[in-house]
Structure 1
Amino acid sequence: MDSALQSFLSAVPQAAAIWLTILLLLAVAVVCARLPRATALPAPEPDENPYAAEVESAVAEASAAAGRRRAEWLESQQAVDAAWTAYEQAEADARRIAAATAYPLMSRRRKPGENVDRQRYLHRAATELCRTQDLSIGQLNDVYAHRGWNPRLHPVQQEAALHAAVREHRLEAYRKAVAAEQAAWRSAEAAAETLRDLRAEAAAARLRGPASQAADQQWWSEQWTGAELPAAA
């Protein structure tokens, strides 16, 4: 009897240790079950339609090119407006000075050296007008070479001739600005047309899928040479 009791009492601590171990393992399992599980990210699928990706890349480049062409066209429009304003001012000045020379000047004997003074005045006035871009370099050269210019005229008459030359220069500048604006408009329209075509082709390539990839690549090589790609714009 005593030996059985002693055996029971000696086995109690071992049983308690076993139960404590089991409870601890159960607690760890419960905690692990409540923790959020990391979701494995799916591996990125390779692009099965490289032709469509290539066309979409060309669309991005063509869009940037079209934006630049449009900005250049808007800038050229502003240049046309400025050139016309400058011409109108030159026209008004030329008319005003021409009206001042409507009456003939009194004829008198010229003083010694007066012709030299008149020539200096003409050269100095023409140089100043060229500095402010009211005369071209070619016109200034004509003044100094006296091609079409009489350096012996009275300063009032020279002033009228100079402003007539300014009016001619401003009119030519306006014509060049108009031509540049028209060229910029054609370039912007061509860039916009290219962008529309590429966008349509990119959408169609995505809809067709990879099945017609070989035919698409053939179309791309036929339609877009290296010099015609939007990236070169």
Structure 2
Amino acid sequence: MQTALSTVLLDVPRAAAIWLALLGVAAVAVAALVVRPNLFRSVAGGRIREAAMPSLLKDAAEERERRRYAGELAAAADRTAATARRLRADWLAAQEDADTAWQAYEAAEADVRRLVTAAALPRPHTERTPAEYADRERYLHRAAREAYGRGELSAEQLDDALAHRNGWNPRLHPVEQELVLHRAVRDHLRARQRAAREREQAAWRAAERAAVGARSLRDEALAAATPTPQEEPLLPGGIDGRSTAAERGREAAAVTREIPAVGRGQSTVARGRATVPA
């Protein structure tokens, strides 16, 4: 009995020491958690974060690429809009030239009709002498040169008048010579009006293409700048049959190279044509 009690009493200090050691370890752990709560985070959580990091980096790179292409598209849209404005001014100038040429042609046509009526009336008789024919020839040459100086005859028509070719006859009565001259003027102004009309139409088409290109680039820039929701790719490698924002940016930027950047621009179309904002 005394021996058993002695044995128990001998083990009490050892047990107390073990319990004190355990309490000390627990206190140290609690203190560490209070001071540094992230010290004992789950290793599994760290591994998950490490696995997700490449995906986050890829998303950030794609975002930078998207913003870069959006900026390039916006700059291209601004350049195309400036070209459209220059082309619009060029078209307006060509339209004004066409209107002026048309008015000149109408006036020449009215003069021809008036002279046709006058030529049908009886003409005063003149002596057909060499001096009279010389006067008629001088009148024809002088009238042709004056019309050429006003821009009413071409150089070829003036050469024909001075060489008496293609209907230019110095022996005709002055009334008939005046009719021949005004018919030549009318033909020249009609050709000039048609050429001015063709230039005006070409300028309008170029301005319209520039305006459409500018609008398309603006739409593409807006689409590239707007983030799209992530979707599961239908094919391996992220290819889902649709172009990415970067690819759309490259395709839209190619529009700028197809637009002629000459002259002054156009953004609206008047006189019966649809308005196209630049």
Fold shared, TM-score > 0.5 on shorter chain: yes
* 2:160 alignment partner in structure 1: 142
Contact 2:91/2:200, CA 8 A, preserved across alignment? yes
Runs of 4+ in structure 1 off by over 3 angstroms are: 104-109, 214-227, 229-233
Structure 2 counterpart of 1:200, one-letter code: D
Tell me the equivalent position of 1:111. 129
Q: Is the 8 A contact 1:58 1:230 kept in 2?
A: no
Query: Contact between 2:217 and 2:252, CA under 8 Å: does it hold in 1?
Result: no
Question: Structure 1 residues 220 and 229, CA, compared in 2 at 3 Å: closer, same or farther?
Answer: farther
Larger RCO (CA under 8 A, 6+ residues apart):
1
1:91 paired to 2:109: yes
Asked if residue 189 in structure 1 is aligned to residue 208 in structure 2, the reply is yes
TM-score by length of 1: 0.69
Aligned positions of 1:1-233 closer than 5 A: 48=64, 49-105=67-123, 109-148=127-166, 149-208=168-227, 215-222=244-251, 224-225=253-254, 228=257, 232=261
CA distance in 1, matches of 2:204, 2:258: 20
> How many residues are treated as equivalent by the alignment?
185
* Cα drift, residue 92 of structure 1: 1.6
Q: 2: CA distance between counterparts of 1:125 and 1:191?
A: 46
The equivalent of 1:14 in structure 2 is none
Structure 2: any 5+ residue segments left out of the alignment? 1-62, 231-237, 263-278
- Displacement after TM superposition at 1:65 (Å): 0.8
Query: Structure 1 residues 196 and 206 mapped into 2: Cα distance closer, same or farther (>3 Å)?
Result: same
Change (3 A) 1:167 1:231: closer
For residue 181 of structure 1, give the secondary structure of its aligned residue in structure 2: helix
1:54 is paired with a residue of what secondary structure?
helix
Q: Point out the more displaced range, 100-109 or 63-72.
A: 100-109
Task: Specify the code of the residue in structure 1 equivalent to 2:165.
Answer: R
* Residues 230 and 206 of structure 1: CA distance in aligned 2, closer, same or farther (over 3 Å): farther
User: Where in structure 1 are there 5+ consecutive unaligned residues?
Assistant: 1-46
> Displacement of 1:168 after TM fit?
1.5
**Structure 1 residue 217, shift from structure 2 partner:** 4.2
Structure with max Cα Rg? 2
- SS in structure 2 at match of 1:135: coil
Distance 1:226 1:62, change over 3 A: closer
- Could you tell me the TM-score, scaled by structure 2's length? 0.59
Shift, 1:75, TM fit = 2.0
Partner deviation per Cα, 1:188-222 (whole Å, 9 max, x = no partner): 1111110110000111111138x99x944444444
Question: CA–CA distance in 2 between the matches of 1:203 and 1:225?
Answer: 16
The structure-2 alpha-carbon separation of the partners of 1:150 and 1:96, relative to structure 1 and needing over 3 Å to count, comes to: same
Could you give the per-residue CA deviations for residues 40-64 of structure 1, whole angstroms, max 9, x where no partner exists? xxxxxxx942211111111111111
Equivalent pair of 1:76/1:184 in contact (CA under 8 Å): yes
Contact 1:61 1:230 in 2 (8 A): no
Cα offsets for 1:144-179 (capped at 9, x unmatched): 222211121122211111011111122222222222
Is the 2:115–2:179 Cα contact (8 Å) retained in structure 1?
yes
CA gap 1:146/1:220 in 2 versus in 1, 3 angstroms: farther
Q: Which residue of 2 aligns with 1:26?
A: none
Q: Deviations over 1:13-48 (max 9, x none)?
A: xxxxxxxxxxxxxxxxxxxxxxxxxxxxxxxxxx94
